[in-house]
Amino acid sequence: MQLSEETVALLQNFASINSNIVLKPGQQIKTISEAKNILAQASIVEDFPQDIGIYDLNEFLNVINLVEGPTLNFAGNSVKIKGTGANVNYYSAEPSILTTPERDITMPTAEVTVELTQEKLLKAKKAAAVLGHTDIAFVGNDEGVSIQVFDPKDASANTFELSLGENTSGETFSFIMNISNLKIIDGDYNVEISSKLISRWVNKSKPVNYFIALEKSSTFGV
């Protein structure tokens, strides 16, 4: 088996969410953060033949890069990575000691759905870095829906706001997220947000989506 560039990019992204992963048989990969507030899942072209636990995903990807034209062969409790003039035998970690999703998440009814472009998300992240803030909020009112960068502990702090369009929910809301939880691969997203304090980010061009928890200070219909 050879890993496609797309799968490698997804695994690199997943490594930013959790340093370990269990690759299971089939054409889907999943990971969950240690705090259990970010879950990511993606469809891939490869079909892994068996479970393999990887304790350090970045190390595993770097090992693959050591070999020219790497081919992965699964056998027993290891993966043999073969290439031009070099081989690596990489041993599986015990899956029971790794943090893996125990079950799929069923997304509750989303009261709010917005489209968020990569350009606008990057602007919001840049504004947060400039202003020194760590939180963003999807805010809805009579004027529409916007994404705001702000300091929830200081009402007098500087803020940054980008319009996202019409507020079709008919409610006033403020759905707050910690920016450090937005560990998503580049692209435009459909973002579904529920008052149950969960959001789903569906990439519009890649077969990957993320479930990201909201902060408890979020409000809806208030």
pLDDT at residue 53, rounded to an integer: 94
> How many whole angstroms separate alpha carbon 151 and alpha carbon 69?
48
Nearest to 41 by CA among 24, 58, 64: 24
- For the whole prediction, is pTM greater than 0.85? yes
> How many whole angstroms separate alpha carbon 186 and alpha carbon 189?
9
Hey, what domains does the chain have and what are their CATH numbers?
Answer: 5-97 (3.70.10.10), 112-220 (3.70.10.10)
| pLDDT 10s digits, 115-150 | 999 999 999 999 999 999 999 999 999 999 999 999
| pLDDT 10s digits, 42-84 | 999 999 988 899 999 999 999 999 888 899 999 888 899 998 8
Contact 48, 24 (CB under 8 A): yes
Mean pLDDT value across residues 90-109: 90
Distances (CA, A) of 46 to 5, 20, 120, 124, 143: 11, 19, 32, 35, 46
* Burial class of residue 221 (count of CB atoms within 10 Å of its CB; 0-12, 13-18, 19+): exposed
